[in-house]
Amino acid sequence: MVIFGASGDLTKRLLVPALYNLACDGLLSDNFAVLGTAMEPWTTEQFRERMSTEIPKYQTRKEFDQAVWDRLVARFHYVPGGFTDAALFPALRAEVQRLDAAYGACGNVLFYFAVAPRFFGLLCDRVHESGFKDGPGWKRIIVEKPFGTDLESALKLNREVLANWQENQIYRVDHYLGKETVQNLLAFRFANGMFEPLWNKHHIDNIQFNVAEAVDVEARGGYYDSSGVVRDMMQNHMFQMLAYLCMEVPGSFEPDAIRNEKAKLLQSVRRYTPDEVERNAVRGQYGPSADKPGYRQEKDVNPQSNTETYAAARLYVDNWRWEGVPIYLRSGKALWKRGTEIVVEFKRAPAVIFRGTPVNGLDANRLVFHIQPYQGIEIQFQAKIPGPQMQLQPVHMKFGYGEAFKANRYTGYEVMLYACSHGDATLFSRGDLVEAAWRIAQPIIDHWAATPAEFPNYVRSTWGPKAAADLIAADGRQWHEVVTEDVLKQSPLFRDGDAVFLEQVIMALTPRQLAAGEVVITKGELGREMYLIEQGEIEVLDDEGAAIKVLTDGDVFGEIGVLMSTKRNATCRAKSPTDIYVLSKADFHRILRDNSSFADAIRTVAKERYRVEMTADSLMAE
């Protein structure tokens, strides 16, 4: 394995830990060796020492196996030089031939381009001109993303790398596809007969892809300001997941059988005109918070930058399987959590059979693929509440990878390196796949580049711009926010709740975004809902409209009106853009009845905040 850019972050943070994991699992051949090259004037010993210093920081296993590492690093070698250095490539070839003889690699060479894409074409030419393709064994090249910065550059890059190499020798890596949970999309769909018959427009109402990052652009402002979230996340990672989830059933698990279906799927995604982009996509950029800068204040970012750090889009796949089914994608930086999920929402069952019962309506069934950080699959459905009446509540079943399998955490690169070394291109993008993805993204990029943006338009640590919620609300739908126990426990009201209680609350919450100045409760109206603030500020107003109290993250409000079925005694409005969860009266009472400690906490809030004494009987009354 020849690594160009062996002194860079990618090598020490991901490639070397991946090789170490493969060695620990017995998946590296005894005939394997690494030859690194970069500008740094290191010797082989210095390269080994540097990697030995870094591996404890970046290895992902619970315990570090020094013996395995010692055996692996002894197979690391190094040749210094720059890509324009005429002497570098003959020296590399001579060293590869020496190592091939020493390790018995049978002439097989994997070239890894851990460098900027602008060098891909040059390196392909130099490796070819140096005679590396001659002799026995296979020769393969892995190139990192991003593969181009737009459609034109991607087409040009394809021409460059294929000028002297065959398509089956080029492996365009997207490490996201190395995640077990992404690969499991294929296994889930095609190994379980109870789901594939439902996988179409007749049974599925909508699909949502969510990639939320809690971190900001960190020290990558210079790169990110020329990229943005559509290029950085949607065009590659998210479109690849979309292809896996929605493609037709392949004829086999042969690499080209799967990649053919992925290509056909992406080629069927509707390309938008500028007017259609305006209706079907929204963008955002985070602003400053009390203690952190906004995007435009980040290092190496243009102070007037129109680069999006958030994007949401409604897409359609124009084929028989998915005709008319909206597919929603959203991703952003500096959001409320780190999490990647795919939500498949099924059409609601008819509620007519429940006439004459307390059931007023039916929630949709959902299938949720948790990609990261929690890895698993969840099915949400309706179940009858124990008791004499026909009452329903949402429940779920979960499968967690950590609970079902004993496996060490991988970086995502292990699978890619192993697959490439065995000639399995299933998880790698073919040239036509890259081009198809850019043809979807390019109209959005072009329209936004030509249209001024009103930035910033969302606050750090929120769900993103309200325009994204409005986009999906226009279809009568809403984003499914994956709430965790940690989120609920930020509120004192739920901090001491047990797992069953917290799951009941999570399944009953409905997310809602408020714009600054938006009224959520009006004095005098009948209380039917209570609210939990995820992020933001809510003002409680007196009769003259002056703020008498400000509620913030983790606070609840509106609960007394719901409990006592009385009219609201104050108006509440959002002081700033605010994310809240809504809990209906019926769900609130049901949870109260099942959880005495929660009822006690509500009584305490009523006494301390509103000076209202409530008995256990009055609390439980409908």
**Could you give the residue numbers annotated as active site?**
237
Helix, strand, coil percentages for the chain (3-state, nearest 5): 40, 20, 40
Give the alpha-carbon dihedral of 367, 368, 369, 370, to 10 degrees: -160
Q: Are 242 and 261 in contact (CB under 8 A)?
A: no
| Assigned token pair, 319 | 């084929």
Cα 427 from chain centroid (whole Å): 18
DSSP assignment of 205-226: EEEEEEEE-SS--TT-HHHHTT
Q: Are 35 and 79 in contact (CB under 8 A)?
A: yes
Nearest of 510, 493, 513 to residue 502 by alpha carbon: 493
The sign of the CA dihedral 210, 214, 216, 220 is negative
Contacts of 332 (CB under 8 A, 6+ apart): 212, 213, 229, 284, 286, 309, 310, 311, 458, 464
- Which contacts qualify for 597-604: CB closer than 8 Å, 24 or more apart? 597/496, 597/497, 597/501, 598/493, 598/494, 598/497, 598/501, 601/492, 601/493, 601/496, 602/493, 602/559, 602/563
- φ and ψ of 180, to 5 deg: -60, -35
Quickly count: other Cβ atoms within 10 Å of residue 427's Cβ: 24
The 3-state DSSP class for residue 466 equals: helix
CA distance 270 to 152: 19
Q: Which residue(s) pair with 330 in the sheet?
A: 210, 312
Q: Are 598 and 530 in contact (CB under 8 A)?
A: no
CA distance 182 to 229: 20
Q: Are 305 and 186 in contact (CB under 8 A)?
A: no
Q: Are 28 and 71 in contact (CB under 8 A)?
A: no
